[in-house]
Amino acid sequence: MGGSGYVGGELLRLLVCHPACELQTVTSQRYAGEPLYRAHPNLRGLSALRFQEPNIEAVVASSDLVFTALPHGESIKIVPDLLQRGLKVVDLTADFRLKDPSAYKEYYGFEHQRPELLQKSVYGLPELHRAEIQGSQLIAVPGCMATAAILGLAPPVSDGFIDAGRIVVDVKIGSSGAGVNPTIASHHSEHSDGVRPYKVTGHRHIAEVEQELTGVGHGDFVKVAFTPHAVNMVRGILATAHAFTRGNPTERDVWKSYRARYGSEPFIRMVSDKKGLYGLPNPKVTVGTNFCDIGFEVDTHIQRLVTFTALDNLTKGAAGQAVQCFNIMTGVNEQTGLNAPGLHP
């Protein structure tokens, strides 16, 4: 539901050839009656489906699981009905990500109308919540920049290597992160050849990052300063985090921390190579993939740990992660439909 935006299109790209999924209904008010390729030209010839008007009865009658890729604040109007009728839901909005209902007023500007569902939803980050995802009826897929920040910082926070109350996250993100509807800020003349800081304090993804990192922090309440920058690329995120160390961990200590948590994770790649152009994570090589590349440097000059996390904001940052959760929920191999390598150059 909500299949005509960039995230909806990425979901369709991944699901249209997924061997364990049969697409039944794709909704869009704007494109109702039109073929999928009208909004997503890359899907031409891959599906005979047409967009339909949103219709809960039709969805319930034909589906076992629903992906909702609607604007923030819209999923909450339909998801409770879907759940009550026995369907599973993978929601790509922010409507069920936060456990504290009051945080919605602070970060999204609305009172949450179904706070009881916040305790039933599972934050859809498999690297932290795989077992819970497996048995859940409602998955709240994380925000793209939040995914990058959390995955990059979870191991050193969990192992107590850094001061949890003083973390700075600097994010560079491509233009697709702003969604399909154009604004003056996304106009080519304004966006191209520049780097634009925006929402430099109080960004809504702070709530997710602090919630999830506090959850792995063994009693430490995590505080994050978070500033994104719009840069001249279409897809991709590079999150650079600056944290100040406790106990002077060595590079070997930090490596062990990441390997302990992510050593068997299929979509986490550690990148720290002393040779070559891509010695640290670069979002260019993650485009179109569900991989999250993580690297770090230990700065002994000022007792600082610098982490770098690169991913595709539409794939691992949204639709790919949703499909990864879908695979876990339905009992198929977690990597099904997601193993394509990125492009180079």
Where in the sequence numbering do the catalytic residues fall?
144
Tokens of 35: 């073929």
Going from the C-alpha of 133 to that of each of 98, 169, 269, the distances in angstroms are 16, 27, 22
Residue 130 DSSP label: H
Find, among 247, 227, 237, 262, the residue nearest to 153 by Cα: 262
Per the CB < 8 A criterion, the answer to whether 81 and 64 are in contact is: no
Coil vs helix vs strand at 182: coil
Find, among 268, 344, 283, 323, the residue nearest to 13 by Cα: 323
- How many angstroms from the chain centroid is the CA of residue 256? 25
Find, among 326, 115, 151, 137, the residue nearest to 237 by Cα: 151
Find, among 260, 240, 243, the residue nearest to 298 by Cα: 243
What would the DSSP string read from start to end of 51-95? EE---HHHHHHH-SEEEE-PPTTTHHHHHHHHHHTT-EEEE-SST
Find, among 67, 69, 104, 107, the residue nearest to 89 by Cα: 67
Calpha distance 122→325 (Å, rounded) = 10
Calpha distance 270→152 (Å, rounded) = 10
